[in-house]
Each structure stands twice: as C-alpha cells, then as structure tokens.
Amino acid sequence: MPTPVFLPVGSQATVKTLIPQELKDIGVRMVLANAYHLYLRPGVEVVEKLGGLHKFMAWDGAILTDSGGFQIFSLASLRRVTDDGVLFRSHIDGSEHFITPGLAIQYQEALGADVSMVLDECAAHDEPFDKVKEAMERTHLWAERCLKAHKHPGQSLYAIVQGGTYPELRRQSATYLTSLGFSGYAIGGLSVGEPKELTFSMLEQTVPLLPQDKPRYLMGVGSPEDIVEGVARGIDIFDCAMPTRVARNGALYTWEGRRNIRNAAYSRMEAPVMTVCGCYTCRTFSAAYLHHLFKSEELLAYRLATIHNLSFMSELMRRIRESIVSGTFEAFKNEFLASYTPTDEQVRLTQKQKWLKARRQG
Amino acid sequence: MPTPVFLPVGSQATVKTLIPQELKDIGVRMVLANAYHLYLRPGVEVVEKLGGLHKFMAWDGAILTDSGGFQIFSLASLRRVTDDGVLFRSHIDGSEHFITPGLAIQYQEALGADVSMVLDECAAHDEPFDKVKEAMERTHLWAERCLKAHKHPGQSLYAIVQGGTYPELRRQSATYLTSLGFSGYAIGGLSVGEPKELTFSMLEQTVPLLPQDKPRYLMGVGSPEDIVEGVARGIDIFDCAMPTRVARNGALYTWEGRRNIRNAAYSRMEAPVMTVCGCYTCRTFSAAYLHHLFKSEELLAYRLATIHNLSFMSELMRRIRESIVSGTFEAFKNEFLASYTPTDEQVRLTQKQKWLKARRQG
C-alpha cells in the first residue's frame, strides 16, 4: 500500500454513513476498526461466526484494528489495572469485562484484521512523570506478551510507543519496542490535549529511533495540517475520526481551511463547496443544496459531507505521496501550510431536538 | 411511466439518506417533493435561481410536487382560512405566510415539477358533515382558480377530490372536478385515521366517477397491503412516507410482513433479512450486520434499510403491473394478502440520546 496513508475510522465496522464501494471510489485502501467496540457489540464471536470483519462489513480492502487500549482508558469506566490486564465497565451497559494482552491479540485474530495493535496503557497527557513511566513500562510488558500471543501469520502486529510528553520516556519506549521486533510501530498517547509543539517535538524524539523499514503510525491524528507536519517528521500511517466527525457537523475541508456549510453565505451558492474538487458531492450538488440539507437536518447531508471530507483527505495524501516521489515535499508542505488556515472553532453540535426531528420526518 | 406506481417521498428535495443513483438502481421513476416544505426552506426563489428542483436535487426522473395543502392543515399552525387562501404560521420558525390557489400554482411552476397539485382544504376525518362540505366546496373553488392560474404547458396539474368519509360528498367532488378537466385526479383526505373499510369504501364511491383515461392518485397511501387494495379499486399512483420512515425505525418489509431488525433473532443471522431479495442491502450484508448497525445507532443502518424497503415497494409494484398485464391481478392480490401479515405495531422511536450519540461518535 502506498504511504503516507490516512485511514478513515470505522470503529463499529462501518465508516459512518458510507458503503464499501463509496470508500473505494474515494480511494480508501485501508480502514480502522476498533476491537473494543466490536468486542462489546456485536461481540467478537458473532463477527467470527459470520466470517470475520471483512465479510461482516463487506470490505475487501485492508483493515487495521485498534486493540481498544485507548478506548478502555478513555470511554470505559476503569475498575482496576494490573500487570495482568484491565478490569473495566462497558460504556454501553455498564457490564464488567477483563482484558489481557493475550486476549486482545486473540480477539483481533478472531476478527480477522490485517493489522492488529498491542494492548497499551494510555496515561493522560498531564500526568506526572512517575505515572506516565509506570504506564509505559506496563505497555512494554504487555507488548512482549502480545508478541508471544500473536500466532496468525497473515496478520501484522504493531507495537505502540508511549511515554507521554517526556522525551526520555519516548526515546526509551521507542528503543525498547524496536528491540522486540514488530511489523510496525505506532505512536500512541499524543494529540490528546497537549500543545501541538509538544506533539511534534515528541515525534522528533521518537521517529528517528524506530526502524526505517517498518511502517510508523501516528494514532488518532488528525487534521490536514497535523498530517502534513507528521509526514515531515517521518510518519507513514495516520487515522482519525475528525474528517468524518466534523463532516457530520457541517465542516467541510477546502485547501484554504475548513468551511461551515451552515453559514448563510452558502445558502444560494450554485458552485460546489469546493470548485476544484472531483468528489461525488462536489461533482453533483451545489453548495446551496448541501446548505439546505444541513439546515433541514436531512440525513443525506452527513453522507455527502463525509464523502467530501474523505475525498479531500485522499487527495491530500495523494499530493503528499506525489511530492515525496518527486522530491518536492518540503515545498508542498510550505505551500499547503501557508494557504490552509487551521481552525479551533468548535463546530456547534446540533441539538437533540433536531436529530429527533430528522428521524421522525418522512 | 408504467402504472400502478409508488412514489417515494422526498419532501425536502431528498428521499432521506439516498442519492439519485440509488433511487434509479431501485427502479424509482418519480418522486414526490413538497411545495410547502420547499417554500419555507430553502425558498422557492432559491430553488428557481439554482435551475429548478430537478437540478437542485440532481434528479432527472419525474417529480410530483404536492401543493402543501395537507401540510398547511396538519403541520403549520393555522391562522385563518377564507375563500382567498390560507394564512398560516411556519412549523419551522413561526413566521406568518399567506398562500392562495394562484400562488400555490406559481410556486410549483417555479420549482419546475412535472406534476403539480391544486391547493386543497383538508378536513379532519371525524369532522361533521357541514364542516367537511365547506372544506370540499372551498377545494372546488380553489381547483378552478388553480386551473386558471396554471400556465406551464410542460407541467401537468392534478385535482384533489375531498369529501371526508361522506359518500355523497365524495361522489359530488369527483363529478364536479371531472367536469373541470384536469390532467389527473388525486383522492385526498383519506387514510388519516379513519377505519380502513371506510377508506376503501370511499375509493369505491369515487374512482368509478373519475375519467378512465386519466391517472388516479391516492395521496399518502401507503402500506403494501393498502396499495394492493387501492390497485384493486382502480388507483394508478400512490405516495407514502411510510416505507422510508419505518425503515429508519428498523422495520423491514418481507413478503410475510414487516420485520423488526432490532429483534434479537437477527443478531447472528448470516442470511440477509429477506433471502429472495435482490436489493443492494440484501445482496451485500447479513441480517446480523444490519441488526448490529441498528443496535449501534449507526447512520448507515437507516440508509441500508431505506434501500431495502424502497426496493421491496418497487418489486411489489412491478409484480402488480405484471399481474395486471397477464390478467392475474386478482390471484396475485389474494395470494399476497394471504401471506402478508399487516402490523399495527408501532416501531419504537429511538430516543433522543441515542441520536445524539450516533452524531457525536466518530
């Protein structure tokens, strides 16, 4: 698979609103699914019985499953973390579950992912050194156990570097995990609230210590501008829910930055939201139509916006790859960052009432 | 266009969740849009400026617009009804609007529909004779005015028979409107809460009085079983939001009746929800996957269920037409009604919280 690559997020075995063919048309080669979500619902054994994740979601492209480490530490309610594993409560129904590194691998093998991830412990970005160190050391212990548990020859297993925002821990983690020998190396626990300079600085500490010939994967990143910065620091794989999530809130990517399609400026615009875009949405509909769908809380709005944003990400990654091949990435990066205005604007979450209405209307 | 035909509802210039190509693939030839909704949002002049409804929603099939009479009397808050027209308040923002028969035609011509409907006054099914008679007489007066206002030669104009559940009024309305000479005749104000026997009995009173060579359209009907009964009584055109609305609540049509895909029985079912179905959803996904999407409140669920139900309606209408051509409709009808179990079960509306969650999750 050509890299750098961006993986759309399909935690629950669906990239929200889209069918597999649309992902193909957009140029998507690999998606991320989440073992935590699928373990809780519909259950690993259900997916396995139905022929594995590819068949279940009718996707013949590649699938990377996250082990669920991050979700257990962010979504679930934690009961106890020991070297053995994590006791947690489901965010869906409060039921209690115990996961170990071995089980995490077993579940991902049963799901039939092409790439699986080790179980890791994620410390919050503002925790003290000792706490972060402890989480890192447990992540290392678990990585070893995952490697031992990993049996499926057709499945790659990636390690996850931790260490918070402490350069010495990041270096230590990268070096140690590299010594164990994985098929790929992820960098976890970044872009979780820390300042961006710190995110990038951690990459600079970590990436040079990872094997040159193995994929390097920055988990949960990100925005177009962060991806460009990540590529500049040697990252090959990215995943992030942001392009699809902000799409559903009406924020559409353009080469100049995110645009809020709900803005009145679009209410009569005959042109597509992005004139230079070749995606289905921009080829077919005016910005005014998309604006109308969002104002009317029509479900098609979320789908058309998702198609546009994933197409944008696909085109961004294509341009990045092209510029790397032609040796002009640095120029591309500077040009892109000069014209693209990042936004901190939190696109307003639509109220419960509107959703309910959209559902009720026939 | 071959009839009998069923029109999916796209009130706000979108058949919820679907793109035009999907409608085509399903076999849809004509959709219904609503002048009331589009007048309020995005506004008739916006749609007109953008090239009309076909271009706006990228649909090159046929479009029938309802005048909005029914919506004004059901959704909007009424201020005053006189022979001149209706003063009403928008259900969206409470703004006040005045519509006349002439304006209703003007708006529908500006939208560029292929078929437009007269403005009618709808009485509730349980109103006394005098009230229903008054509404019918005003509907007749407005029908005359609509006919005079109708200028666009490329657009058909259909009258709407009213008269509630009073046979003499229904007969009077059908006879009078027929004498005016329209391109087609709709039957309005039925299936609005009255017993089904009464609905069918009103059709029996009305249809024989309408011209044999003009389309007869039963508005807002309906369920598969009601459509079969309607065809038996001479109806050519149906529209209804039900197949798409119940789809979004997880009720999927089969030849034996509606099935609730949220039911635990589907949680591990490898077969599609309907094995004999050729729709995209059934060709591609297991019932278990669809069950999972609904349980997870995934937006793709609503789309896949919509595709299935509209495909079912399309196939139902195809079988009806085929049986008419081969002179076996009566046998088809009896067989269908014997195997199809209608349901009064109200598929539980999903709670606000779940919608919000679906929107938030990335």
| Structural domain boundaries enclosing A342 | 247-360
Out of A60, A66, A126, A344, pick the active-site residue: A66
CB-CB: which of A18, A50, A267 is closest to B270? A50
Out of B25, B60, B66, B344, pick the active-site residue: B66
Nearest CA in chain B to A269: B50
Which residues in chain A are closer than 8 Å to B268, comparing Cβ atoms?
A: 46, 49-50
Question: Do residues A300 and B16 touch, judged by C-beta distance below 8 A?
Answer: yes
Smallest CA–CA separation between A159 and chain B, in Å?
Answer: 24
CB atoms within 10 A of CB A224: 24
Chain B CB within 8 Å of residue A299 CB? yes
A267 residue type, one letter:
S
Beta-bridge partners for B258 = B253
The reported pLDDT for the residue numbered B344 is: 56
A16 and A158, same domain (yes or no): yes
| Gyration radius from chain B CA atoms | 21
A148 and A23, same domain (yes or no): yes
H or E segment and range at residue A5: strand A5-8
* Tens-digit pLDDT string for chain B (362 aa): 999 999 999 999 999 999 999 999 999 999 999 999 999 999 999 999 999 999 999 999 999 999 998 998 888 887 899 999 999 999 999 999 999 999 999 999 999 999 999 999 988 878 999 999 999 999 999 999 999 999 988 999 999 999 999 999 999 999 999 999 999 999 999 998 899 999 999 999 999 999 999 999 999 999 999 999 999 999 999 999 999 999 999 999 999 999 999 999 999 999 999 999 999 999 999 999 999 999 999 999 999 999 999 999 999 999 999 999 999 999 999 999 999 998 754 333 333 334 334 444 44
**Residue A138 token pair:** 């447990």
Q: DSSP secondary-structure letter at A239?
A: E
Out of B120, B226, B236, B239, pick the active-site residue: B239
Q: DSSP secondary-structure letter at A49?
A: H
A189 and A270, same domain (yes or no): no
Give the end of a domain, one of B195, B210, B240.
B240
A209 and A324, same domain (yes or no): no
Query: Whole-prediction pTM value?
Result: 0.94
How far, in Å, are A97, A120, A123, B67, B169 from residue A73 at the CA level?
13, 9, 8, 55, 69
The reported pLDDT for the residue numbered B343 is: 75
Domain containing residue B88: CATH number: 3.20.20.105
Question: Do residues B12 and A292 touch, judged by C-beta distance below 8 A?
Answer: yes
Tell which of B292, B310, B313 to mutate to test the A interface (max A CBs under 10 Å). B292
Tell which of A270, A359, A360 to mutate to test the B interface (max B CBs under 10 Å). A359
Of residues B177, B33, B37, B47, the one with CA closest to residue B114: B33
User: What is the greatest pairwise CA distance in chain B?
Assistant: 60
Nearest CA in chain B to A32: B362
Smallest CA–CA separation between A242 and chain B, in Å?
Answer: 7
The reported pLDDT for the residue numbered A324 is: 98
Smallest CA–CA separation between B87 and chain A, in Å?
Answer: 23
Smallest CA–CA separation between A297 and chain B, in Å?
Answer: 10
Question: Do residues A262 and A294 touch, judged by C-beta distance below 8 A?
Answer: yes
**CA-based angle A157:B298:A247, to the nearest 5?**
85
Which residues in chain B are closer than 8 Å to A37, comparing Cβ atoms?
A: 296
- Spatial separation of the C-alpha atoms in residues B318 and B320, rounded to whole Å: 5
Mean pLDDT, all residues of chain B:
93
Out of A83, A126, A239, A344, pick the active-site residue: A239
Question: Do residues A295 and A262 touch, judged by C-beta distance below 8 A?
Answer: yes
Which B residues, 257 through 296, put their C-beta within 8 Å of a C-beta on chain A? 267-268, 270, 280, 284-286, 288-289, 291-293, 295-296
CB-CB: which of B12, B298, B350 is closest to A14? B298
A119 and A212, same domain (yes or no): yes
Give the end of a domain, one of B201, B217, B240.
B240
CB contact (8 A) between residue B362 and residue A298? no
3-state secondary structure (DSSP) of residue A157: strand
Active site residue A130: no
- Spatial separation of the C-alpha atoms in residues A19 and B154, rounded to whole Å: 38
A226 and A308, same domain (yes or no): no
Which A residues, 170 through 189, put their C-beta within 8 Å of a C-beta on chain B? none
B176 and B236, same domain (yes or no): yes
B52 and B99, same domain (yes or no): yes
CB contact (8 A) between residue B13 and residue A292? yes
How far, in Å, are A40, A258, A344 from residue A347 at the CA level?
30, 10, 9
* Tens-digit pLDDT string for chain A (362 aa): 999 999 999 999 999 999 999 999 999 999 999 999 999 999 999 999 999 999 999 999 999 999 998 998 888 887 899 999 999 999 999 999 999 999 999 999 999 999 999 999 988 878 999 999 999 999 999 999 999 999 988 999 999 999 999 999 999 999 999 999 999 999 999 998 899 999 999 999 999 999 999 999 999 999 999 999 999 999 999 999 999 999 999 999 999 999 999 999 999 999 999 999 999 999 999 999 999 999 999 999 999 999 999 999 999 999 999 999 999 999 999 999 999 998 754 333 333 334 334 444 44
A232 and A258, same domain (yes or no): no
A178 and A68, same domain (yes or no): yes
CB contact (8 A) between residue A295 and residue B42? yes
Question: Which residue, chain included where needed, has tokens 């953008």?
Answer: B50
A304 and A350, same domain (yes or no): yes
Question: Do residues B139 and B179 touch, judged by C-beta distance below 8 A?
Answer: no
- Report ipTM (2 d.p.): 0.94
Tell which of B48, B298, B306, B360 to mutate to test the A interface (max A CBs under 10 Å). B298
Active site residue B66: yes
Span between the terminal Cα atoms of chain B, in Å = 43
Give the end of a domain, one of A183, A207, A240.
A240
B184 residue type, one letter:
G
Which residues in chain A are closer than 8 Å to B279, comparing Cβ atoms?
A: none
Count up the domains in chain B and report the number. Answer: 2
Which residues in chain A are closer than 8 Å to B52, comparing Cβ atoms?
A: none
Which B residues, 236 through 255, put their C-beta within 8 Å of a C-beta on chain A? 241-242, 244-245, 248
The reported pLDDT for the residue numbered A79 is: 82
A76: left (phi over 0), alpha (psi -120 to 50) or beta: beta
3-state secondary structure (DSSP) of residue A316: helix
A154 and A30, same domain (yes or no): yes
